[in-house]
Every structure is written in C-alpha cells, then in structure tokens.
Amino acid sequence: MEMISFDKAYDIVINSGSKTGIETVPFTDSLGRILAEAVVSEIDLPSFNKASVDGFACRKADILEDMDIIETIPAGKWPEKNISKGQSSRIMTGAPVPEGADCVIMVEDTTLLNSGKVRIEGTFKKSNISVKGEDVRSGDIVLKTGKKVKPQDIAVMAAVGHTSVKVMTMPKVAVISSGSELVEPHQIPAISQIRNSNASQLIAQVKEAGALGIYYGIAADNEEETLSVVDRAVSENDIVIITGGVSIGDFDFVPSVFEKAGIEILFRKIAVQPGKPTTFGIHAGTLVFGLPGNPVSSFLQFELLVRPLICKMMDYNWHPLIQKLPVREEIKRKSADRMALIPVIIDSDGFVSPVEYHGSAHISAFHEADGIISVQIGKERIKKGEIVSVRMI
C-alpha cells in the first residue's frame, strides 16, 4: 500500500467517523462534555431590580437634601416600604431595590447625621442598579449546542435552574501497547526492557479530548495474543489505538493482525516525520489506529488525527490554537521528502526555536515544547525571521 500525504490521511480519518449518541446527565457532571442541546433560560437575570453596591436607595431628585432612612434591606429580603420624596432605605449588595427609588448611592459617598438622616456627599455618578433582565431575558439561549462545558458554564446552568442537560455520549477509546520489551511504569525494567510510557500518555490525551479511555494492557510480540486483544477491543469500543508493531521489522505484525481481525486498512504509511508508519482502518464502524511505538510519534499522530476525529464524533467544532510567530534562527533539514513536525519553544520575545530533540523516542525533551510547526514536503529550510504557524500543544 502506497504512502499518502498527511492531508489525504486526515481527510480519510475525519470522514470515517459517525456521531455518538446523546445522554442526559446532572449539570454538575457535565464539565468537559459537549452540549447536545441549547440551554435556554426560563427566567430573567437579574429577576428583579437589585442593588449593585452597599449604600442607600433613593430618588435622584432628592440627593441634594438630607433624607430620612425608612428601613434596612438585606440581600434576600423584599422591601416592605416604597420610597417617597425625602426618603431612603439602607440597602445591601444584591438586595431588591424598593419601589420609588431610581438609584443607589454608595455608602462611601454618604454621611450619617446625628439627626438619623443621611446626607449625600458629592455629585450623582451612576444609578448602581442592576435592572431586571439586563443580563439574560427569559427565553434567551445562554449556552449553545456543541459547546464544551467549562466551569463558568456550570454557574450559568445553576443560575437559570437547568439542573440536567443533554450531552453527546463520550466515544469509548481502547488503548493497547504492543511489544515484549515493555513493562508497566510501576515495574523495574530488566536489561533490554523499557517502561511503557505510551499507554499513560495516550489515556491522558483521550481524557483531555473528552473521550473515555480504556487501557487493554501490553500485548507481547505474539500474533495470536495480539489478535485476541484487538478482537476484544474492536468489539467493545468506538475507537481502538494500538501502539508499536506497525513498521516493517520481523516482529512488526500489527497490520497483518488487523487484516486477520477483519479490519479494512485504508492506509499504512503517511508522508510525515515523525509518524510515517501510522496505520488506519475500519471494522464494522469501529475505527482502528496503529500508531508508531515511539512516544513522540504516537503523541503527535494522536493530536493531529485522533483528537480531531473524537471531536467530530461528538459534533464539537474544535480548532487548535495557532500562533503566527517569527523563527529565531534558520532551521534546516536534511531530507524534504516528507512533511516534518518540529517541536518548538516560544521565548519571552515571541520568537520560535526548535527544542533540542534527538528523535521520536525523545519524549523527555518534548515536554518543554510550547507547540509544533510543520514544514511541508520539498521545503528544506526556514529562514531566520520567517513567520511560521505554531500549533500550540
């Protein structure tokens, strides 16, 4: 199967997924979920004219004279008396403004007199009244369909009494690591073994993307064992990711396992560095990725291919943050036959420089990166000062 461009691979992946279902959850459990319905307010906010400061509610026409204080209105209590000429009510922030008052004078701008009256110092500045419905009107859409719920959105739902909400079902994403050389992070590697960093990284990426990650463990370099794990994962999930075993070595048999599992392989190689041996296929609606075993390759191909797919399946119009910035020094590369993905840092002056990076296994350097830049096929260098698009990570 021929190597294809990254753009073609992206189109194949993004057009292969189908939307997930819809479920109803308590609004307090909706953080990070994608709204499947608009949240509509059934009330005005504020629901009454309220004081926005501590002070005295009165008539603007009376602020040049000393005024009687007829009651004190704390937050949560409805006024018992209306304001008439020459009268005021002491009022607290958030309390309802009494009928007849058209302003609240800040307590800092007043003086209490021995006579029991209040005197306004200085000139009128503003009403200090939050008017009923000035923030939200009954029937207004306060949160749109397709929005990813943030903590402040939880507050909005609470304010309008929207205590249950319809959200898109999270895709179930299986993560499988392949390789007899791998041991789990809590284990001490023997000679020739390494700790499995890919699985933890990918599960975290899945969670950050808003999906449900399920770890299926390490499959040894044994075709029968790998096939058994893949068969089970494909039958139980919306997306399956297996890392390692996708190159062309003697023990890299994941593509053949895919075929035996009945997975239709749509591509096996992408003209990108790192990540060339990325494999993708479909099995009865389950989307299956074979990602390279090197952790930087798997990280990048997840961000570039899997995350957009997850977002589209949940009908979430996600776009990565892109910054256009100049390169600090010239960047050269030896070969230009593939699109290059280069991790970079952004310095305090807003210039971009490559991270010191020893290849796709060097995950310990990659954590320093602020983003990545892509260098298209055929381009051998980026000139000093040239503006590049930095995809933030």
CB-CB contact of 49 with 129 (8 Å)? yes
Query: Is 22 in a helix, a strand, or coil?
Result: strand
pLDDT at position 252 over 50: yes
DSSP symbols for 152-214:
HHHHHHHHTT--EEEEEPPPEEEEEEE-TTEE-TTSPP-TT-EE--HHHHHHHHHHHTT-EEE
pLDDT at position 250 over 50: no
pLDDT at position 179 over 50: yes
pLDDT at position 174 over 90: yes
Block residue for tokens 């993708």: 280
* Cα angle 269, 270, 271; round to 5: 125
Between 328 and 367, the more confident residue is 328
Query: Is 212 in a helix, a strand, or coil?
Result: strand
DSSP symbols for 284-336:
TTEEEEEE-SSHHHHHHHIIIIIHHHHHHHTT------EEEEEBSS-EE-S--
- Residue 252's alpha-carbon distances to 4, 167, 248, 327, in angstroms, are 20, 40, 6, 38
Closest among 8, 1, 21 to 305, alpha carbons compared: 8
* Cα angle 263, 269, 270; round to 5: 125
Phi-psi region of 139 (alpha: psi -120 to 50; beta: other; left: phi over 0): left
Domain at 6-20+170-313, CATH from 3.30.360.10, 3.90.79.10, 3.30.70.20, 3.40.980.10: 3.40.980.10
Give the DSSP H or E segment for 168: strand 164-168
Minimum mean pLDDT among 200-209, 247-256, 277-286: which range?
247-256
Block residue for tokens 């979920």: 33
Q: What is the pLDDT of residue 329?
A: 94
Q: 302 CB contacts (<8 Å, ≥6 apart)?
A: 202, 205, 241, 291
Q: What is the distance between the alpha carbons of residues 160 and 136, in angstroms, rounded to a whole number?
A: 9
Q: What is the pLDDT of residue 183?
A: 85
Q: Give the model's confidence band at 89: pLDDT under 50 very low, under 70 low, under 90 confident, else very high.
A: very high
Nearest 10 degrees: Cα torsion 30, 31, 32, 38: 50
Average pLDDT over residues 365-389: 91
CATH topology agreement for domains 22-43+143-168 and 50-130: no
Q: What is the pLDDT of residue 255?
A: 80
- Residue 324's alpha-carbon distances to 321, 357, 372, 375, in angstroms, are 10, 22, 12, 14
Q: What is the distance between the alpha carbons of residues 123 and 271, in angstroms, rounded to a whole number?
A: 71
Q: Quick: pLDDT tens for 341-375.
A: 999 999 999 999 998 876 655 666 678 889 999 99
Domain residue spans of the chain: 6-20+170-313, 22-43+143-168, 50-130, 322-392
pLDDT at position 251 over 50: no
Instruction: Return the CATH fold of 22-43+143-168.
Output: Molybdopterin biosynthesis moea protein, domain 2 (3.90.105)
pLDDT at position 128 over 60: yes
Looking at domain 322-392, its CATH superfamily turns out to be MoeA, C-terminal, domain IV (2.40.340.10)
Q: Quick: pLDDT tens for 269-285.
A: 999 999 999 999 999 98
Q: What is the pLDDT of residue 43?
A: 95
Closest among 127, 57, 50 to 90, alpha carbons compared: 57
How large is the greatest C-alpha to C-alpha distance in the chain, in angstroms? Answer: 98
Instruction: Return the CATH fold of 50-130.
Output: Molybdopterin biosynthesis moeA protein; domain 3 (2.170.190)
Q: What is the pLDDT of residue 386?
A: 96
Q: What is the pLDDT of residue 362?
A: 62
CB-CB contact of 35 with 162 (8 Å)? no
The amino acid that residue 66 corresponds to is D
Give the DSSP H or E segment for 18: none
Backbone φ and ψ of 5, nearest 5°? -70, 160
Q: What is the pLDDT of residue 368?
A: 83
